[in-house]
Structure 1
Amino acid sequence: MSSILTNNGAMVALQTLKSVNSTMSEVQNQISTGKSVANAKDNSAIWAISAVMTSDVKSFKGISDSLNLAQSTVAVARQASETVTDLLTEIKGKIVASQEENVDREKIQTDIDALRDQIGAVVGAAQFNGLNLLQNNTLTAEDVNVLASLDRSSTGVAASKITVARQDLSSGAATAGTMGTDIGSNSAVNAGATGAIMTVTGTPEAGMSYELASGGGLGLSADVTYVARNGDTLQDVTDALVAGLNFQAMTDGIDVTFAENGSTAGQIDMTNNTSAAITVTTTNASQSTNNTENDGTIGGSLELLENFDVTTGNGADAALEAIENMLQVSIKSAANFGSAQGRIETQADFISGLTDALKSGIGSLVDADMEEASARLQAIQVQQQLGVQALSIANQAPQQLLSLFKG
């Protein structure tokens, strides 16, 4: 049956042409944007995944900048630590030369003072963007946490960090704060014997003061003071006090030796090499228990440099004993910074590779296959032309009905 009111052929041709035009628009969008999934309407699931991954890529770019900044900062600290080690080695050479009797110790002392001042200049200049990792002599000094990664899991996103511990190669002197709980008592050590003179207890915190007063039965000419810095352990405090006591005793020409007790943490023993018993007064050797009121001024790990005096025999011997400990401190600092720098560089390389992998993954999800799009465009253009032809033919069908009414 033919009808002039309903043209079924034209409707079919029109729907086909609309479908072809819709596909043509989709392919043209893919070609113009380069994406098969340009927005959530195209494929909501794939778009959501790619959006999350894209946000991670931008985050990792920021992390990469953070790692580059940290790498430069640590590199400066490592270089400075190595330079300090070289300068301490030169000082050691000067001290060794001062052991000779027939030398001008005054001139050697002048050279040592110059090298000491140079160490101070190196440590003071070892900063990058205002951060100096070689100074740990303030109560507010803390280890540096470097943003290293974002760890995504089913429970959310967590920041991963690399901790770079501060070292301390400054040479400023410490000042003890108000004394708190006593950690020692009067101890008598007989001639030729070894005995405990004090025991350091508790958990050190930045600013806690430790001091063994001068005078007393031992006869030290100066107080032996140590103020804990951030990150110090009981072992660090004990080692520092032992080093200070040995240096002061040798400087004063007192024939005693101090050492850490191998079995009791925090205990300091004294070996009395003199011919008479010595009673050591340690009532002022105290640990501050109030980190607000009893804080001392934190000294540097190389603070004994300020007291080096090789113009006397005792002073030269004391300096030779102390310089070895300082060399170990600077070498350890350089090694720690070297390890941290290596880890940061490895992480930076990983983040760079991870970012590239994420970009590739996003591309495989949303990027259009341009070869396929080109082939589809050619085919759809032909379909579109045929659709127009079919619609034109279908629209001519009512015209044919006129022939039925001609006489």
Structure 2
Amino acid sequence: MSSILTNSSAMVALQTLKGINTGLAKTQAEISTGKSIASAKDNAAIWAISKVMESDVKGFSGISDSLALGESTVAVARQASETITDLLTDMKGKIVAAQESNVDRGKIQNDINALKDQINSVIGAAQFNGLNLVDGSNSSVNVLSSLDRTATGVNAAHIQVDGQNLSTGGYTAKAVFSSANASTTKDVAAATLAKADTSTVSFTLDRTITYAEGDAISMRIGEQEVRYTVSAGDAAQTATEQSNRILAGLASAIDALGIADLEITTSAADGSNDGAITLTVTDTAIDGLATDTPADVVGLDQDLNITAQFHSAGAGGLSALTGLDVTTNTGATAALGAIESLIDTATNAAANFGSIEGRIQTQSEFISNLSDAMKTGIGSLVDADMEEASARLQALQTQQQLGIQALSIANQQPQNILSLFR
């Protein structure tokens, strides 16, 4: 039956043409973007997987920077250790020469002293971005090495780098708080802040400690550290006045950090005050936490964790250097025995740094290769096959032309009905 009201052939041709145009638009989008899955509506599951992998690739980029920083830091320490080993080897040659009685031991001792000074210079200069791994001031540091994704989330992995004490003096950590606050670490807990919108916690410096030139007090506030080193003028003062000067120095360093809620009060000249380090905490001072419900603040002890540590001269790994004296037969014999131990210490330190540097380098190469592999994996999931898209485009363009012709023919069919009425 023919009808002038319902043209079934035209409707079929029109639907076919619409389908062809939809496929053509999708193929053109793939060609223009280079992706077969450009948004979640294309394939929600694959798109979600690709976005998670892309976030991991971004994270690995940051890890590469961390590994590069860590490798550079360890490389400086390794080079310093190797240099010290070479200097100690040179010193051994001098000491061996001093075993002969008819040599000028005074001049040999001068050479040894010069080598000692050079070793101290190398130790002091062996820092990268302020971190020194050979002077004994850092027992260990962690280098971010990977992000391990599990079913429950992402965990950060680290490579631990152990510091080596090659100093001729050394550092011995001591608590600097009085017996009322005996711990070297004082946490400001959420329970403390819950008492009111503003809460105060005080640390009292031990007033009985006598400091020597070169000693230092360091305080870590969150991720920032301030330090005050005792000068010769400070060392000449009484213990109370030394504490006053240290507190004033720490206060100045803290002011430079711009932490308005951290205050330090120094004692009066007569020693009547307690020299307290006073921390005034308000809930508004903690970035990203609630301002009106301090009782709910749970991360405060992590954000404002203050540690103070006293570094005093002690036994460094190369402390035996200070006692080397070849001007006498007894001293020359003792020095020959001591230098072997010193060389072993420096050699072991260099070997340890070399081993960890190699590990960091291997991890860095792995992270780079892993990042490339993940990028390839992401590409295989969402990138368009351009050869296939090109072939499909030409086929769809041909189908489009045929569809237009078919629709035109179908639209002409009602015209044929006119011949029946002539």
1:307-348: CA deviations, max 9, x gaps? 222222332233222222111110100010111011111111
1:46 is aligned to 46
Whether the 8 Å contact between 2:147 and 2:156 is mirrored in structure 1 is yes
Q: Select the residue among 147, 150, 157 that pairs with 2:147.
A: 150
1:349 is aligned to 365
State the alpha-carbon separation in 1 of the partners of residues 5 and 313 from structure 2.
102
State the alpha-carbon separation in 2 of the partners of residues 121 and 69 from structure 1.
23
1:161-197: CA deviations, max 9, x gaps? 111110111212678979xxxxxxxxxxxxxxxxxxx
Secondary structure, counterpart of 1:145 in structure 2: strand
Aligned length: 291
Whether the 8 Å contact between 1:172 and 1:300 is mirrored in structure 2 is yes
How far off is 1:372 after superposition? Answer: 1.0
Q: Select the residue among 388, 393, 403 that pairs with 1:377.
A: 393
Question: Where do 1:1-400 residues align within 5 Å?
Answer: 1-137=1-137, 141-172=138-169, 296-400=312-416
Whether the 8 Å contact between 1:120 and 1:171 is mirrored in structure 2 is yes
Secondary structure, counterpart of 1:149 in structure 2: strand
Secondary structure, counterpart of 1:396 in structure 2: helix
Cα separation, partners in 2 of 1:293 and 1:74, compared to 1, 3 Å: closer
How far off is 1:155 after superposition? Answer: 2.1
State the alpha-carbon separation in 2 of the partners of residues 14 and 32 from structure 1.
27
State the alpha-carbon separation in 1 of the partners of residues 155 and 323 from structure 2.
49
1:245-297: CA deviations, max 9, x gaps? xxxxxxxxxxxxxxxxxxxxxxxxxxxxxxxxxxxxxxxxxxxxxx9899743
Cα separation, partners in 2 of 1:175 and 1:401, compared to 1, 3 Å: closer
State the alpha-carbon separation in 1 of the partners of residues 126 and 322 from structure 2.
20
Whether the 8 Å contact between 1:99 and 1:316 is mirrored in structure 2 is yes
Cα separation, partners in 2 of 1:101 and 1:177, compared to 1, 3 Å: farther
Secondary structure, counterpart of 2:101 in structure 1: coil
State the alpha-carbon separation in 1 of the partners of residues 136 and 413 from structure 2.
95
1:359-393: CA deviations, max 9, x gaps? 11111111111111111111111110011111111
Whether the 8 Å contact between 1:10 and 1:395 is mirrored in structure 2 is yes
Q: Which amino acid aligns with 1:339?
A: S
Cα separation, partners in 2 of 1:345 and 1:383, compared to 1, 3 Å: same
Secondary structure, counterpart of 1:163 in structure 2: strand
State the alpha-carbon separation in 2 of the partners of residues 332 and 92 from structure 1.
17
Q: State the structure with more CA Rg.
A: 1
State the alpha-carbon separation in 2 of the partners of residues 401 and 338 from structure 1.
94
Q: Which amino acid aligns with 1:169?
A: L
Cα separation, partners in 2 of 1:383 and 1:37, compared to 1, 3 Å: same
1:15-54: CA deviations, max 9, x gaps? 1110000000011111111111111111111111111111
Whether the 8 Å contact between 2:173 and 2:311 is mirrored in structure 1 is yes
Q: Which amino acid aligns with 1:369?
A: D
Q: Which amino acid aligns with 1:23?
A: G
Tell me which moved more, 103-112 or 148-157. 148-157
Q: Which amino acid aligns with 1:164?
A: V
TM-score when scaled to structure 1?
0.67
Cα separation, partners in 2 of 1:52 and 1:105, compared to 1, 3 Å: same
Please give the root-mean-square deviation of Cα atoms over the aligned residues, in Å: 2.2
State the alpha-carbon separation in 1 of the partners of residues 109 and 22 from structure 2.
91
Identical residues among aligned pairs (%): 66
State the alpha-carbon separation in 2 of the partners of residues 61 and 176 from structure 1.
37
Cα separation, partners in 2 of 1:4 and 1:292, compared to 1, 3 Å: closer
Cα separation, partners in 2 of 1:72 and 1:173, compared to 1, 3 Å: closer
State the alpha-carbon separation in 2 of the partners of residues 295 and 81 from structure 1.
22
1:37-95: CA deviations, max 9, x gaps? 11111111111111111111111122122212222221121111111001011111212
Q: Which amino acid aligns with 2:141?
A: V
1:204 is aligned to none
Cα separation, partners in 2 of 1:59 and 1:365, compared to 1, 3 Å: same
State the alpha-carbon separation in 1 of the partners of residues 154 and 140 from structure 2.
24
How far off is 1:160 after superposition? Answer: 1.4
Q: Which amino acid aligns with 1:148?
A: S
